[in-house]
Amino acid sequence: MPAVKPDLETRLAEDHHQAIKLWLRLLTCTNLITGQIRTRLREHFQTTLPRFDLLAQLERHPEGLKMSELSKRMMVTTGNVTGITDQLEAEGLVRREPDPQDRRACTVKLTPRGRQVFARMAQEHEGWVIELFEGLSSSEKELMYTLLGKLKTHLNGKEARR
Amino acid sequence: MPAVKPDLETRLAEDHHQAIKLWLRLLTCTNLITGQIRTRLREHFQTTLPRFDLLAQLERHPEGLKMSELSKRMMVTTGNVTGITDQLEAEGLVRREPDPQDRRACTVKLTPRGRQVFARMAQEHEGWVIELFEGLSSSEKELMYTLLGKLKTHLNGKEARR
DNA sequence: GCTAAATATTTTAGGCTTAAAGCAAAAGCG
DNA sequence: CGCTTTTGCTTTAAGCCTAAAATATTTAGC
């Protein structure tokens, strides 16, 4: 029996299996969490995750954001942002303001009502997230945060290199 | 100045922030990875992630799966599974077989062609996942897998208790 | 200044996803 | 047995999402 080759092969095969297993578990956890949050947003506030996400971005940027900036931050296409913005604007939670420098662009801002509505949702939302991550201790969360940071850096590098 | 209260408050506030930050990063990583895989599946095989996922489930269960089992494993509604199965069946990759015990139910199986097509895709897919997780060492992947396992257990407990 | 390329957004077509309603068959129960 | 409830699947309506094409405007190069 060859002494080296089997080990190497086994190592590789395990590595493969390892990445796949990790990926499936990562996806499962994300799905479980988004599922919970989606359900609660619907039941408590009759809204959806993407709508909430858009409002959250604007809350963090009181000066407003361009559609393209929203698209980048939300990691969805600009076409998608158009649709969600249309709805939130119709509901009176955000407003498109024309850009004086560039007539193609517009800045999206929270309306006072939007800010108010979001504040109520955000508070509950934060509680949900804390609760959903209670399975991990503070140091475990910290550790996971670090590991994901490393992964994210790698993924972004890959993205950039395309 | 009170000595205890501020610390407690600070600790709490940090805990909150910590869970939220972790959640956002988890979501970002998942989105980056699914985005890559979705794009590559489309470009290389003119297919989509859910179609691939359904075939993968069947590959792991050569005896076939009920629609409801597929739904559970894929973490989507049964209505959704109906639509994806319709397409794959039309493409000749899977087949619905009537259940002799229960006339409401059916068992979905890979066709020989489906198995063949999936095998080709699965090999490349595995390479992509390995590549996307190369940012982490083997022990880091192991660690993350463990942490996610703990999180998953917590989340499933929460689910069950509803 | 004119034209070409780039940019910001919207529109379109098609697929995914959900929640909820519908339908048929099976299971439980009096 | 007959009735109700549950189960397995499909259908429907509405929203999310993408890729690609279209539109309008700005920027760059000549």
A153: nearest CA partner in chain B = B135
In this complex, the answer to whether residue B34 has its CB under 7 A from any atom of chain D, a nucleic strand, is: no
Q: Are B104 and B96 in contact (CB under 8 A)?
A: no
* pLDDT at residue B157, as a whole number: 85
| A139: contact with B, CB 8 A cutoff | no
- Give the fold, CATH level 3, of A23-134: Arc Repressor Mutant, subunit A (1.10.10)
**Cβ of A27 and B34 within 8 Å?**
yes
Alpha-carbon Rg for chain B in angstroms: 21
pLDDT of residue A66: 96
Decide if pLDDT at B122 tops 70.
yes
> For the structural domain made of B5-160, what CATH number should be given?
1.10.10.10
Strands (DSSP E) found in A45-136: 65-66, 94-98, 106-110
Domain positions in chain B are 5-160
For residue B61, is pLDDT > 80? yes
Interface of A with B in 50-89 (CB under 8 A): 75
Q: What does residue A137 show for φ and ψ, rounded to 5 degrees?
A: -70, 170
Cα dihedral B84→B86→B92→B98 (10° resolution): 120
Percent of chain B clearing pLDDT 70 (strictly above): 88
Q: State yes or no: pLDDT of B45 exceeds 70.
A: yes
Q: How far is the CA of B104 from the C1' of C22 (A)?
A: 14
Report whether pLDDT(B160) > 90. Answer: no
Q: CA A47: distance to chain centroid?
A: 16
pLDDT digits (tens, 9 = 90+) for A74-126: 999 999 999 999 999 999 999 999 999 999 999 999 999 999 999 999 999 99
Residues whose CB falls within 8 Å of the CB of residue A113, separated by 6 or more in sequence, listed in order: A92, A93
CA pair distance B151, B142, nearest whole angstrom: 14
Query: Strand C: which nucleotides have any atom within 7 A of a protein Cβ?
Result: 7-13, 15-21, 24-27
What whole-number distance in Å separates Cα of residue A29 and Cα of residue B29?
12
